[in-house]
Amino acid sequence: MDKIPCVRCDGTGEIPAFRHVKSGVCFRCWGTGHDLRAERQALEACLKAARAEYRKLSLSLKSAKGEQRTMAAAALAALTRHGKRLAQRLVLQNNEMRALMERQQNAGV
Protein backbone atom coordinates (compact mmCIF):
# COMPACT_ATOMS: atom_id res chain seq x y z
CA MET A 1 0.00 0.00 0.00
CA ASP A 2 1.41 3.36 -0.99
CA LYS A 3 1.89 6.24 1.38
CA ILE A 4 -1.01 8.69 1.31
CA PRO A 5 0.17 12.33 1.35
CA CYS A 6 -1.18 14.38 4.23
CA VAL A 7 -3.98 16.65 3.06
CA ARG A 8 -3.49 19.15 5.85
CA CYS A 9 0.19 19.99 5.22
CA ASP A 10 0.36 18.84 1.56
CA GLY A 11 2.98 16.24 2.49
CA THR A 12 5.52 18.65 3.99
CA GLY A 13 5.03 17.62 7.61
CA GLU A 14 4.69 21.17 8.85
CA ILE A 15 2.30 24.08 8.64
CA PRO A 16 4.20 27.38 8.45
CA ALA A 17 1.26 29.43 9.75
CA PHE A 18 1.43 27.47 13.02
CA ARG A 19 5.17 27.71 13.70
CA HIS A 20 4.30 29.21 17.09
CA VAL A 21 2.61 25.93 18.11
CA LYS A 22 4.98 22.95 18.43
CA SER A 23 7.22 24.49 15.73
CA GLY A 24 4.48 24.09 13.13
CA VAL A 25 4.46 20.29 13.17
CA CYS A 26 1.34 18.98 11.44
CA PHE A 27 -0.77 17.15 14.02
CA ARG A 28 -2.49 15.06 11.37
CA CYS A 29 0.69 13.36 10.11
CA TRP A 30 2.97 14.19 13.09
CA GLY A 31 5.61 15.59 10.75
CA THR A 32 5.92 12.54 8.49
CA GLY A 33 4.21 14.09 5.48
CA HIS A 34 1.94 11.11 4.97
CA ASP A 35 -1.55 10.71 6.35
CA LEU A 36 -1.25 7.99 9.00
CA ARG A 37 -4.98 8.03 9.76
CA ALA A 38 -6.00 7.55 6.12
CA GLU A 39 -3.43 4.77 5.73
CA ARG A 40 -4.78 3.07 8.84
CA GLN A 41 -8.36 3.36 7.58
CA ALA A 42 -7.34 1.90 4.20
CA LEU A 43 -5.61 -1.03 5.94
CA GLU A 44 -8.63 -1.63 8.15
CA ALA A 45 -10.93 -1.62 5.10
CA CYS A 46 -8.70 -4.13 3.29
CA LEU A 47 -8.58 -6.34 6.37
CA LYS A 48 -12.37 -6.18 6.75
CA ALA A 49 -12.82 -7.19 3.10
CA ALA A 50 -10.33 -10.04 3.53
CA ARG A 51 -12.21 -11.29 6.60
CA ALA A 52 -15.51 -11.23 4.70
CA GLU A 53 -13.95 -13.13 1.80
CA TYR A 54 -12.47 -15.63 4.29
CA ARG A 55 -15.91 -16.30 5.77
CA LYS A 56 -17.37 -16.77 2.30
CA LEU A 57 -14.60 -19.17 1.25
CA SER A 58 -14.89 -21.09 4.52
CA LEU A 59 -18.56 -21.74 3.84
CA SER A 60 -17.92 -22.79 0.25
CA LEU A 61 -15.13 -25.14 1.39
CA LYS A 62 -17.60 -27.09 3.54
CA SER A 63 -19.80 -27.95 0.56
CA ALA A 64 -17.05 -28.32 -2.08
CA LYS A 65 -15.92 -31.72 -3.32
CA GLY A 66 -12.88 -33.00 -5.21
CA GLU A 67 -11.01 -30.44 -7.31
CA GLN A 68 -13.25 -27.57 -6.17
CA ARG A 69 -12.36 -28.37 -2.57
CA THR A 70 -8.64 -28.33 -3.37
CA MET A 71 -8.95 -24.98 -5.15
CA ALA A 72 -11.05 -23.49 -2.35
CA ALA A 73 -8.53 -24.70 0.27
CA ALA A 74 -5.65 -23.14 -1.68
CA ALA A 75 -7.55 -19.86 -2.02
CA LEU A 76 -8.33 -19.93 1.69
CA ALA A 77 -4.66 -20.48 2.56
CA ALA A 78 -3.60 -17.59 0.31
CA LEU A 79 -6.25 -15.35 1.83
CA THR A 80 -5.09 -16.30 5.32
CA ARG A 81 -1.52 -15.27 4.48
CA HIS A 82 -2.78 -12.01 2.97
CA GLY A 83 -4.89 -11.28 6.07
CA LYS A 84 -1.94 -11.93 8.36
CA ARG A 85 0.26 -9.55 6.35
CA LEU A 86 -2.46 -6.87 6.51
CA ALA A 87 -2.84 -7.34 10.27
CA GLN A 88 0.94 -7.09 10.76
CA ARG A 89 1.07 -3.90 8.70
CA LEU A 90 -1.76 -2.46 10.77
CA VAL A 91 0.09 -3.23 14.00
CA LEU A 92 3.30 -1.68 12.63
CA GLN A 93 1.40 1.39 11.48
CA ASN A 94 -0.23 1.78 14.90
CA ASN A 95 3.16 1.46 16.57
CA GLU A 96 4.58 4.07 14.20
CA MET A 97 1.78 6.50 15.09
CA ARG A 98 2.28 5.90 18.81
CA ALA A 99 6.06 6.36 18.55
CA LEU A 100 5.72 9.57 16.56
CA MET A 101 3.27 11.04 19.07
CA GLU A 102 5.51 10.09 22.01
CA ARG A 103 8.60 11.50 20.27
CA GLN A 104 6.82 14.80 19.66
CA GLN A 105 5.65 15.00 23.26
CA ASN A 106 9.04 14.08 24.74
CA ALA A 107 10.94 16.47 22.50
CA GLY A 108 8.82 19.34 23.74
CA VAL A 109 8.60 20.59 20.19
If the chain, 109 residues long, is cut into consecutive pieces of 10 residues, what is the mean pLDDT of each piece? 83 89 84 84 88 86 83 86 86 83 71
The CA distance from 108 to 104, in Å, is: 6
Largest CA distance in the chain: 68
From residue 50, alpha-carbon distances to 1, 28, 55, 59, 78 in Å are 15, 27, 9, 14, 11
The pLDDT assigned to 1 comes to: 59
Q: Is 56 left (phi over 0), alpha (psi -120 to 50) or beta?
A: alpha
Domain positions in the chain are: 40-104
The pLDDT assigned to 82 comes to: 87
